[in-house]
A and B are shown apart, each in its own frame.
Chain A
Amino acid sequence: MRDSLIILIFFAAGVVFGVTGVLPFDISQTDIAMYALYALIFVVGFSIGNNPDIVGSFRKLNPSLALLPLCTVLGTLAASALLGLILPQRSVTETMAVGSGFAYYSLSSVIITEYKGAELGTVALIANIVREFLTLVAAPLLVRWFGTLAPMAAGGATTADVTLPVITRYSGEKYSVLSIYHGFVVDFTVPFLVTFFCSL
């Protein structure tokens, strides 16, 4: 919660700088964002490669439950694609790019900004913050309506960290390993799927 607040403060500060025009040069005309994004993706990859024992601890999982990340990804993409057909102002690939943030709002919004512009980037930022927020507040309802696995599917890429506490509380302690595994796998798909749908 605190992290999303800091993120929003940085975004809001940027909006204020932009509206008032206090900056001496136009930062969006420079390549700073592009290089920062490449550095970010490199560091995200680095932290995955640098931590091999995460993968080792997943061997004990129920093989059927190991399919949960796939359900999260396919369910999200199918629903976003349908929505893209309905929304007049958005294409299917645009809603799918926003949907494949899976609540990982920081990374997905900056990739989308770089490739699709600030407008869709803003939509991605808000949509994925809302998804994380909904998971945090609606976890007990999701369990009642969609079963024990639903808060993990809803939490998407955040189930290994931010939303892990509510998941262990409402799905049960014994699902914490599944939740961490799920967050890890979905997290890994975000840069790939978001860039893929941006490039179509």
Chain B
Amino acid sequence: MPAKLETMFVVFGFMAAGVLTGWLLRRHRAGWTGKVTMALIWLLLLILGIEVGSDRRIVESLPTLGVEAAVIALVSLLGSCLAARLLWTVVRRRENASKKEGRG
């Protein structure tokens, strides 16, 4: 499927329309969104499964894809943790500095 910039704007458009509609109806707190979200996700993952199952090439490469996915998961998780460690160091240093100022 060709990925075009316009598809991105269609997605943004639906997102923005959703936020706006939800905000306009904020006096009527909707309890159905969680259930509808789950139902749509189940449908879409069923379809994803069917697409995968009908494609011999993907079925045969599932073990390789799984390993690849696990590597992406681990690396991206570690990347975010390193960034969080940097922030944590900065925040603590700043807190210590302000404590010393308070004493002096």
Interface residues of A, Cβ cutoff 8 Å to B: 3, 6-7, 10-21, 23, 26-28, 32-33, 36-52, 62, 64-65, 67-68, 71-80, 82-83, 87, 89-90, 95, 98-99, 106-107, 109-111, 113-119, 121-128, 130-131, 134-135, 142, 145-150, 152-154, 156, 191-192, 195-196, 198-200
Contacts and interface: CB of A to CB of B under 8 A. Distances in A.
Contact of B69 (A44, A126, A150, A195): A126
Given A118-B55, A119-B65, A127 B73 contact: yes
A41 B82 contact: no
B85 A150 contact: yes
Contacts of A28: 47, 50-51, 54
B84 A152 contact: yes
Contacts of A106: 41, 44-45
Given A28-B50, A42-B17, A123-B65, A149 B33 contact: no
Contact of A14 (B20, B29, B47, B86): B47
A40 B76 contact: no
Contacts of B79: 75-80, 82
A46 B18 contact: yes
Interface SS majority for chain A: helix
A76 B76 contact: yes
Contacts of B80: 71-73, 75-76, 79, 153-154, 156
Contacts of B83: 71-72, 74-75, 78, 153
Contacts of A121: 48, 51-52
B88 to A, nearest CB: 4
Given A75-B79, A127-B72, A49 B21 contact: yes
A117 B4 CA distance: 14
A25 B3 CA distance: 25
B101 interface: no
Nearest to A98: B72
Nearest to B62: A122
A50 B75 contact: no
A15 to B, nearest CB: 4
